[in-house]
Structure formats: structure tokens, C-alpha cells
Structure 1
Amino acid sequence: MRFSLFTGSCPEWTPDEVAQHCAAQGWDGVEFRIADQAPSATPGFWAGNRATFPLTGLENDAARLVDMSRRSGLALSGLAPYVPLADHANAERVLRVAAQTGAHRVRFTSPKPADDIGFDALFTKARADLEVLQEIARPLGAQVVIQIHHGNIVSTASCARRLVEGLDPQVVAVMHDLGNTTIEGREGLLSLKMGLDILGPYLAHVHIKNAVWQAAGTDEDGVVQWKWAWATLRKGMGDVKAYFRALKAVGYDGWVTLEEFTTELPLEERLADDLAFLKSSAAAAGYP
């Protein structure tokens, strides 16, 4: 098992600073955020993130990604461009860069439910798009990954398995995410193993973050309203230690990538603490 950091988690650092800090802390790799983002005077997770490479012209940064990886001793665990499955042109651009740099894996975004389009139509189109991306990725030696994500049409392992069923799991696969399934879509009340079991050979990557549901007020009828918020690994509703036990039970031994969107601790301190907790949780589950 190897641990990597999604660079969206450290908006104050440049890519070179990410590599320096991750190498010093003992991470095994990084997953770079790729986006044509909105400018912001203050670096933030979703705008003005300094640890982000632009999607437009990404091919021009391929050599820099390779050099950064070699100098720091960090592997590229994947690329995260937020490209929709339907955007075949940009999908090919990122898949080519993933192949060139050794990142190999690219995670794409599935459609969100829409009031004017039924689920079946969205699902059928997403499947057709995946088939196109499979044929783009196969000769490149790259891998298309869909992320189980709250708020879109693939919020459960069951739905993800249905979407990719019959495709080549070496080319099209699924990313499981503890934090996302804590918000929506977890399978297994007492064990996280069920959702991982459902994915079977399509489980290719794992993301870990955490979240919590909070009361958000009461309406005029006395009904309590709820909202979710990101939480630290130790304080969220997702049981990180149980998650590693479930991963061990299904034989997963690939990348585990941290996404950290809390700010309780200073950046360098919180990432070091997260890595220590991930490693201790994995060791407790029986990983060497």
C-alpha cells in the first residue's frame, strides 16, 4: 500500500513546494489537481489553488511533472482534472499526459441528476462516453477512473459497478471514497466491506477524507434540518480504521490518496498528522 496526497488539499503551496513537503514528510506520491480555475487573491481549495496545473495546455507541463517526480522521489499516483466523461477532447488530452508522465490513472466526473433529463438517459449517455474513453485510453496504456461521489449519478458502489460492468477493468475502473460515501451512498451498515466487495476487479484506487452531518436549524414545524461538512480524519463519521480493515479484507493493496479540506491545524502540521494516522491505521489493519 502506498500513500499519496491530492494537491487540491494544499492550496497555499506551489507544485514544487508540494513535492518538497511531501518528500520530507514521507509520502509516496502525489495526485495533481488539474483545472482552469477561477482567480482568487487568497488561495483556496477551489479557486486560486496554487498547487494546480491548468487543463488548457496541460501537455506543455508533462516534462515538468516528470522532472518534479524524479527530483522528489515521489510517484504520480494519478491526475485529477475534473473533466466530464462527455468531454472526449479534454479526456484524451489528460489521458495522453497521464501516459507520458507515468501517472497512468485519470479520474473523471460523472453527470449530476437533472430535473429535465431522466436518470436512465444520463446513465446511458455516461456509459456510451465511457466506452469512447476506453478506446482512447487502451492504446495509451492509461486508465479511466470514475469516482464514487455524492450528488452525482454514481454515488454508490452498486451504481458504479453497473456503469462499468463489461468494460475492461484494466482500462476503466472505479475509485472508492470514504468521505463521499459518508455523505451519501455507503453500502453496509456495520461494515464497509460490502461496497468494496461490490466493485470487485473494478476497484482501482482509494480516496480518504472525512465528513460529518450537523443539525442546521429547525423550521417552523419543528423539523430539524441537516447539512454535511468536511471533518478531520479523526473527527468525522467515517471510521478510518474500519475502512483499512475492510480494504485488507478484500485484498486491496494499491494507492490510498488523502483529500483534506479542513483547516483546524496549519497546513504542514495537518498533513503530517494525517499521514501518521493513515499509516498507523493501515498497520493496525495488518498492512506491513
Structure 2
Amino acid sequence: MKFSVFTASTPDWTPSQAASMLAEQGWDGIEWRIVDDRTEDGSSGFWAGNRSTWQYTGIADRVGEIARTTEAAGLEYSGIGGYQPVSDHEGVETMLRVTSELGARQVRVTMPWYRSERERTGATYGELFDRTRADLEWAAGRAADLGVKALVELHHMTITPSASAARRLVDGLDPEHVGVIHDLGNLVIEGQEDHLAAFELLGPYLAHAHVKNARWVDTGETRADGSRVWRNEWAPLRDGQASVSEYLDALRQHGYDGWVTIEDFSTDLPLAERTADNLAYLRSLVPVTA
């Protein structure tokens, strides 16, 4: 396995700082976040004002800069963290082309958020699924033309929160050009299935693994019916409800030897300490062999 970091989780660093710091720490690769994201006051955060993010607007003109930044650090691309909805064909086309030009091989395209789309359009899950399948078929064709792969992420609140749902969506498409990102932390929130069973179910569509951790905490509040209210929060890799060790063991048992990308949104440790500690932890679980 090779280890990389998704820059959604490195909000305090510029792209050049992220690349040089991760390379110095010994990471194998980087997964760049590409989305329009600026704050008026210049503040930075994971999902607002993230300084490690390449802005989507004008991204086609910055391919050379991205390549130089990555190559100067000696890092590989584990993929591209795109945010373009699969229904946005122009946006998906742009991201597929950028991925191809970079030689980054694979890029995430985002799935519809079930509840918000249902409230906005009135569409049922089945209608959203059928519409998304048609969009994904189009994306698969363009990915094939460009020699890259479009990735569907297992993500809570979308129409693909589980391996079962994702397999149903991608089934029958060319796994050379459509794949699935299995995400350990997201599954703590929604979509959890036995990991090995999920990997076997996805089969050739298992293209990438994202690792973070999460936990459910009691808010101390109760609903009108007297039941407790719980909320989810991100946690350090060792401290969430999922076992990273058991997850990596299941990946190995399945024969997966691809990228494992960390996106740790916890803040218990400062950023540089957090990324260094995460790599040391991963290496302890998957020792480097000669």
C-alpha cells in the first residue's frame, strides 16, 4: 500500500507548503482538493478558506503549476479530490481533462445529497438514482476517452452511503473508467457494512480507500419522545469508533495494494504533528518491506 494525504485536511498550508511538508515527512503522494473556496476575511478551515485548495475557476490554466508543485516535492498523485456534481457535465469534463493532463489517473465526482435534492426537486430516491446512473454512464464514456477513472465516494447523506448502494449504481460500467472510493470514517456515520464483504462486493470497482475516523457523542439533549440525541464528530485515527488496524487488515486480506489516503479532520494535534503522527501510525500497521 502507498499512503497519501487529501489536502482538504491540511487547511493551514499553501499548496507548496503542503507538498514540501508531506514529502519531508515521508508520505508517498498527495490528493489535491480542487473547488472554489475563498473566505472574505482570509480565514482558513477544512471546508472554508482551505489554503491547500486549488481554485476550480481557471483550473485548466493551472495544470502546469500543480504539476510543478507536485513534482518538485517528489510526490505522486493518489488521485484528485474533485467536487463537481456528476450532473454537471461541463464541470466533470473539466476535471477529467485536468486529471488526464496531470497523469493523476482518477478523480472524484460527487453524488447527489438525497434529502436536500428530494426537498429541492421532489425527486424520489429511485428517480435520483436513475438520473445519476445516466450521468455516470456519460462520465464513464468521457473518462474512457481521456484514459482516466471517475470515482464515486461512499459518503453519508448521499445516494451512495454504502458499498451496496455504490455497487448497484456502477454495476455494468467499465471498472477501468469508473470506480468507488471506500471511506472508513464516513461509514461510521452511515452505510457501515462488514469491510471484507464490502470489498468483495465492490470487486473490480474498489479503486481507492479514504481513511479518517469518527465517533458518536451524547449531546445530553432529549427529543420530545424522551429519546437521546446523538451527534457525530471527527476523531483522531486511534480514537474513533472504527479500527484502522482492522480496516487495513481487511484490505490486505482482499488483496488491495493501492492508495490509502488520509483525510483527518480532527484537531487534537497541530497540523504538522497530526500528519506526521498519522504516517507513523500507518507505518506501524503496514510496515515498509524491502
Would you call these one fold, judging by a TM-score over 0.5? Answer: yes
Residue identity opposite 2:27 in structure 1: W
1:256-286 deviations in Å (ceiling 9; x for gaps): 0000111111110011001111121223xx9
Distance 2:96 2:7 in 1: 18
Contact 1:95 1:104 survives alignment (8 Å):
no
Give unmatched runs, 5+ long, in structure 1. Answer: none
- The answer to whether the 8 A contact 1:105-1:142 is kept is yes
Give 2:257's aligned residue.
Answer: 253
Letter in 2 for 1:60: D
Does residue 140 of the first structure (1) align with residue 146 of the second (2)? yes
What is the deviation of 1:220? 4.6
Question: Residue 228 of structure 1 aligns with which residue?
Answer: 232
Return the alpha-carbon distance in structure 1 between the equivalents of residues 187 and 280 of structure 2.
23
1:180 equivalent to 2:183? Answer no
Q: Letter of the aligned partner of 2:237 in structure 1? A: L
Contact 1:248–1:287 (8 Å) recurs in 2? no
Paired residue for 2:160? 154
1:78 aligned partner: 79
Matched AA of 1:165: D
**Of residues 241, 245, 249 in structure 2, which corresponds to 1:241?**
245
CA contact (8 A) 1:186 1:195 kept: no
CA contact (8 A) 1:215 1:224 kept: yes
Matched residues, number: 283
Task: State the AA in 2 paired with 1:182.
Answer: V
Which amino acid in the other structure matches residue 63 of structure 2? A
Deviations 1:88-133 (A, max 9, x none): 1011111111011111110011111124210110000110001100
TM-score (norm 1): 0.95
- Is 1:278 paired with 2:282? yes
Counterpart residue number, 1:198: 201
Cα drift, residue 221 of structure 1:
4.1
Q: Distance in 2 between matches of 1:37 and 1:47?
A: 6
CA RMSD of aligned residues (A): 1.3
Whether 1:167 and 2:168 are equivalent positions in the alignment is no
- Once the 2 structures are TM-superposed, how far is the Cα of residue 287 of structure 1 from its aligned partner? 7.5
1:33-66 Cα offsets, whole Å, 9 max, x none, are 1111141432111111110001111111100111
Name the structure 2 match of 1:98.
99
Q: How far does the alpha carbon of each residue in 1:160-193 deviate from its partner, in whole angstroms, 9 at most, with x for none?
A: 00100000001001000000111111112xxx21
Letter in 2 for 1:257: T
Greater CA deviation, 36-45 or 49-58? Answer: 36-45
Runs (4+) of structure 1 exceeding 4 A deviation are none
Question: Quick one: percent identity of the two aligned structures?
Answer: 46
Which stretches in structure 2 are left out of the alignment for 5+ residues?
none
Cα offset, 1:219, TM superposition: 3.1
Which residue is equivalent to 2:218? 215
TM-score (norm. length: structure 2): 0.95
Aligned to 1:112: 113
CA–CA distance in structure 2, aligned partners of residues 147 and 100 of structure 1: 22
Q: In the alignment, what sits opposite 1:123? A: 129
